[in-house]
Amino acid sequence: MTTITHLPLLLFFTLTLSIHAKIHLNTGDHHALLTILKHLGVFGDLRPPENPCSITGISCERRTLNGSDTLRVTRIVFETRRLTGFLSPAIGQLSKLKELSLNDNYLNDRIPPELGNCRKIEIINFGNNKFSGEVPAEVSYLLRLRILDLSSNEFTGELGFLKHFPNLEKLALENNMFTGKVPVSLRLFRNLRLFNISGNSLLEGELPELNRLESPVIESKKSKYKRVPKRYVFAESTNPNGNNDSGPGKTEAPAPAPVEAPSKKHKKRNRKKIMGWVLGFFAGSFAGILSIIIFSVLIKLFLIAVKYGGNQSGPTIFSPSIKAEELKFLEDDNEVAALQVIGRGGCGLVYKTDIPNEKIKTIAIKMIIQPPKDAGELTAEDTKMLNKKMRQIRSEIQTVGQIRHRNLLALLAHVSRPTCHYLVYEFMKNGSLQDILEQVKSGTRELEWLVRHNIAIGVASGLEYLHMSHTPRIVHRDLKPANILLDDDMEARIADFGLAKSIPGGDTHMTSSNVAGTLGYIAPEYHQTLKFTDKCDIYSFGVLLGVLVMGKLPSDEFFQHTSEVNLVKWMRKVMTSDNPKEAIDQSLLGNGYETQMLLVLKIACFCTLDDPKERPNSKDCRCMLAQIEH
């Protein structure tokens, strides 16, 4: 089934066009769409929005008529929405509609004949609903159809609507109650690649012989059936006992279409394949076990080197911008104690100092303390804390110690000492985004909207590199304003990769033993299942966008006095209210960018959707933000 993988991006582009060019939705489409959505049960008891094109699942595109531009509805995609209504006859008024996907809901009643007026439609997917009655003959007017999926419903009647679909590629009619014969017109569907009519026990007669142009029909010696062209994936009608109901005698035949019995040569070839698979499995298993053993030994050697080898090997340099000689002072505890302290974290202090370097004049040094005890003297709590700190060091080295991007805070060097470790970074003059937002709230500093927007794009670019450009993918797991540092030009740098994890290319997710991150920024599915993906970072990014526009942190007492209690739910409520500008930071109102700020809040709502599959990826986020014109 064809799916729209970049729906939020398409919707956002449409919104941008409608705002900047003052293009409005066609009046006829507007009224028809509201009627359709009402009967489908999309709104429930909620009031429909003024601009239906802003609804997730609706796509509108610009069209020019008589020299003037207008928006027309081109796609309605409401998959797995638990809708319980029916399809309104008003659907026939959407003459520019290209896709209507309502699969995996609880929709009922008949398909309205007016659907035949949507002559430009290419995709109809009503699979897995409760539609009933006969399919109207008017469906045969839709000559542009590429996909017609009516599977798993309660349709009855004959297949007379299957007349002439020259562009049809997929026809899914399985698991219904169709009757009569499969029409011979099916052989004229020259582009058909997938046809499934299984699960229709009331169909009778033989299946029509399909187009032979691409491969010859070969008669099987043991069956009266014929092989169909290779391009078809053909499933015949079967009953639960596995018998074909295509004739009065119910001759046995498998589904999909039966093929020629394998020869002895083929059997011998299959045996060789099986032997190859078995040998490959054992060889692969042996290699995998050996790799795990070698990897474990290397990890232990690395930890030993990090813990005890500091004085012998000196600093480990990760960037040509700094030299080992410039970090000699870190070997003297008195010199370190004299440095300026700029922060205090759970693992230790953060210092700042100048160095005689042309490229990097000022560095920040994070000190991670480890207990000055022998292994036998360590308590369970000491061991737990030491392991946590060592994991943080390893995570930093494996991520920002090895990669470079303008929106990631690079690790310059690692220095190991008997009682601590130093992680060296370039100093960020403007501190963290959270520090600046707190200064703005107290009235001691301003943060203009254009700067906030640029920060958002910078963070999205950094995430795009981590999620899509780097192999393996890296999930930050603790994206928040306190971990967004700002350089001299107020460019964003994602920092603190102590909780970051890599996801191997073949894996869809990773599982952790406990939840890592900061309350208010943690995706709900991670909190519930302990499984994380890059979409968890997208959720955190959505919260971050909300913070940039609203000027409020999830931990602010403001949300404790609302019925929603948290930032995301409050943001959703205000964005669907009559006055969405209520969500904007009061210090930004009146700057002329209210429209652009509301667009960013819409992106924030996309990023914080409860279903991670519906959230945009990091590239989509960057593109949507970059499309906002000022």
426, 461, 494 - which closes a domain: 426
Residue 482 has pLDDT above 60, yes or no: yes
Residue 294: pLDDT band (50, 70, 90) is confident
DSSP codes, 506-562 = T-S-EE-SS--S-TTTS-HHHHHHSEE-HHHHHHHHHHHHHHHHH---TT-GGGGGS
188, 205, 235 - which closes a domain: 235
- The pLDDT, as a whole number, for residue 231 is 38
Q: Which of 81-85, 269-273, 363-367 has the lowest mean pLDDT?
A: 269-273
Strands across the sheet containing 194-196: 58-65, 68-77, 99-101, 123-125, 147-149, 170-172, 194-196, 233-235
DSSP state of 278: H
How do residues 247-257 score in pLDDT, each as one tens digit?
A: 433 333 333 34
DSSP codes, 324-345 = GGGGGGGG-HHHHHTSEEEEE-
Q: What is the CATH number of the domain that holds 63?
A: 3.80.10.10
Domain match, 507 and 619 both = yes
Domain match, 95 and 209 both = yes
Mean pLDDT for all residues in the chain: 81
The b-or-e profile of 554-593 (16+ CB within 10 A means b, else e) is: beeeebeeeeeeebbebbbebbeeeebeebbbeebeeeeb
Q: Which of 196-210, 414-428, 458-472, 616-630 has the lowest mean pLDDT?
A: 196-210
Residue 143: pLDDT band (50, 70, 90) is confident
Tell me what the mean pLDDT of segment 101-119 comes to: 93
Classify residue 452 as exposed, middle or buried by CB count within 10 Å of its CB (0-12, 13-18, 19+).
buried
Does the annotation count 478 as an active-site position? yes
- The pLDDT, as a whole number, for residue 247 is 40
Tell me what the mean pLDDT of segment 188-213 comes to: 75
Domain match, 150 and 186 both = yes
Domain match, 518 and 615 both = yes
The secondary structure of 422-482, three-state, reads: EEEEECCCCCEHHHHHHHHHHCCCCCCHHHHHHHHHHHHHHHHHHHHHCCCEEECCCCCHH
CA angle 290, 291, 294 (to 5 degrees): 85
Please report the sign of the dihedral spanned by the C-alpha atoms of residue 109, residue 48, residue 16, residue 447: negative
Q: Are 424 and 397 in contact (CB under 8 A)?
A: no
How do residues 6-43 score in pLDDT, each as one tens digit?
A: 555 555 555 554 444 457 889 899 999 999 998 998 87
How do residues 371-393 score in pLDDT, each as one tens digit?
A: 554 444 434 444 455 556 666 67
Q: What's the domain count of the chain?
A: 3
Q: Could you tell me if residue 597 is inside a domain? A: yes
Domain match, 394 and 314 both = yes
Domain match, 385 and 443 both = no
User: Cis omega (within 30 of 0) on the bond before 166?
Assistant: no
How do residues 301-321 score in pLDDT, each as one tens digit?
A: 666 555 544 444 578 888 888
Domain match, 354 and 437 both = no
Q: Could you tell me if residue 252 is inside a domain? A: no
Q: Could you tell me if residue 253 is inside a domain? A: no
Residue 209: pLDDT band (50, 70, 90) is low
Tell me what the mean pLDDT of segment 46-59 comes to: 85
Q: Are 332 and 384 in contact (CB under 8 A)?
A: no
Domain match, 405 and 439 both = no
For residue 55, which phi and psi values (nearest 5 degrees)?
-75, 135
Is the whole model's pTM more than 0.85, yes or no? Answer: no
Closest alpha carbon to 460 in 538, 355, 531: 538
CA angle 451, 344, 348 (to 5 degrees): 130
Q: Could you tell me if residue 127 is inside a domain? A: yes
Q: What is the CATH number of the domain that holds 571?
A: 1.10.510.10
User: Cis omega (within 30 of 0) on the bond before 418?
Assistant: no
Q: What is the CATH number of the domain that holds 347?
A: 3.30.200.20
Q: Could you tell me if residue 241 is inside a domain? A: no
Q: Is 125 helix (H, G, I), strand (E, B) or coil?
A: strand
Catalytic-labelled residue, pool 29, 104, 478, 620? 478
Domain match, 207 and 325 both = no
Residues 21 and 15: their CA atoms lie apart, in Å, by 10
Q: Could you tell me if residue 283 is inside a domain? A: no
Domain match, 38 and 125 both = yes
Residue 50 has pLDDT above 60, yes or no: yes
Domain match, 475 and 417 both = no
Q: Could you tell me if residue 269 is inside a domain? A: no
Residues 379 and 373: their CA atoms lie apart, in Å, by 10
CA distances from 579 to 50, 549, 573, 586, 594 (A): 12, 15, 10, 14, 12
DSSP state of 298: H
- The pLDDT, as a whole number, for residue 621 is 95
Domain match, 135 and 24 both = yes
- The pLDDT, as a whole number, for residue 142 is 92
Q: Which of 253-262, 385-394, 606-615 has the lowest mean pLDDT?
A: 253-262
- The pLDDT, as a whole number, for residue 487 is 92
Find where tokens 């017609």 sit.
Answer: 148
Domain assignment of residue 396, given as a range: 291-426
409, 426, 443 - which closes a domain: 426
Q: Could you tell me if residue 274 is inside a domain? A: no
Query: Which uninterrupted H or E stretch holds 52?
Result: none
